[in-house]
Amino acid sequence: MNKKILIQLIILCAGCMYSLISFKVSERYDVDITSFKIIDKPHTFLNIISNNLIVGLFISIGGYLSAGFLVLIILFWNSFFLTEIIQSSLVLNISTNEILYGLVYHGPIEILAFLLFGKIGLDGLKFYSRIFKKNKIALIELKNIKSFLPPVILLIVSAVIESNL
């Protein structure tokens, strides 16, 4: 397995674990969980794809410019937040089948797309290390547009599936 993918999977697991450890039931905060909305936007293809493309570009371009740091922050946050949504759904007595139905068809495809965007973003570390070591930087090292194609296609497929659930 590619080191960059493994690092990202570890960060995803860390975000989930942190959520599981820190999750507090809302009664403790005197919040009415019956009026809690997980998603306020319409669940349309355009909303889903635009949101996911923005996240993907932040992960890849922002990650590249931040030497991979932004990749790790976004993946940690997204896995933390997804786990919070699942736990909140369980507290709201939403069935496990309904939760899985909402995630299992598009979730793995979307996560794979974000991991591919993350591979692009983590390459920024190598780029900056070469700058600091004063090594030559070949233009080929700068990511070309073709490396964005597989994750974008995966996000489109995921958005089509998610918008039709």
Q: Give whole-number Cα distances, 9 to 12, 18, 49, 54, 143, in Å.
A: 5, 14, 23, 21, 22
| Domain assignment present for 134 | yes
Q: Is residue 35 in some structural domain?
A: no
Residue 32 lies in a domain: no
What is the C-alpha radius of gyration for the chain, rounded to an integer number of angstroms? 18
- pLDDT number for residue 94: 81
Q: What is the pLDDT of residues 49-97, one digit of tens each?
A: 999 999 999 999 999 999 999 999 999 999 999 998 888 888 878 888 8
Task: Work out the angle between the directed axes of helices 107-132 and 3-22 (0-180°, nearest 10).
Answer: 120
Alpha helices (H) in the chain, listed in sequence order = 3-22, 45-57, 63-65, 69-91, 96-103, 107-132, 149-163
131 lies in some domain: yes
Residue 31: pLDDT above 90?
Answer: no
Residue that wins the pLDDT comparison between 165 and 4: 4
66 in any annotated domain:
yes
Helical H segments across 26-68, by residue range: 45-57, 63-65
- Does residue 99 register a pLDDT over 90? no
- The mean-pLDDT minimum among 29-38, 79-88, 127-136 falls in 29-38
Residue 80: the pLDDT is: 93
Domain count, the chain: 1
Which of 93, 110, 97 lies closest to 162 in space, CA to CA?
Answer: 110
Looking at residue 142, what is its pLDDT? 55
pLDDT of 6 strictly over 80: yes
CA distance 158 to 86: 19
**pLDDT confidence bin for 32, thresholds 50/70/90:** low
What pLDDT, on the 0 to 100 scale, is given for residue 148? 93
Is 53 among the domain residues?
Answer: yes
Residue 7, in any domain of the structure: yes
- 27: confidence class by pLDDT, cuts 50, 70, 90: very low
Domain boundaries, position 152:
3-16+44-163
- Cβ(4)–Cβ(119) under 8 Å? yes
Give the model confidence (pLDDT) of 11-26 as tens digits.
Answer: 999 999 999 998 776 5
Q: Is residue 22 part of a domain?
A: no
Q: Of the candidates 64, 99, 101, which has an alpha carbon nearest to the alpha carbon of residue 56?
A: 64
3-state DSSP of 73-103: HHHHHHHHHHHHHHHHHHHCCCCHHHHHHHH
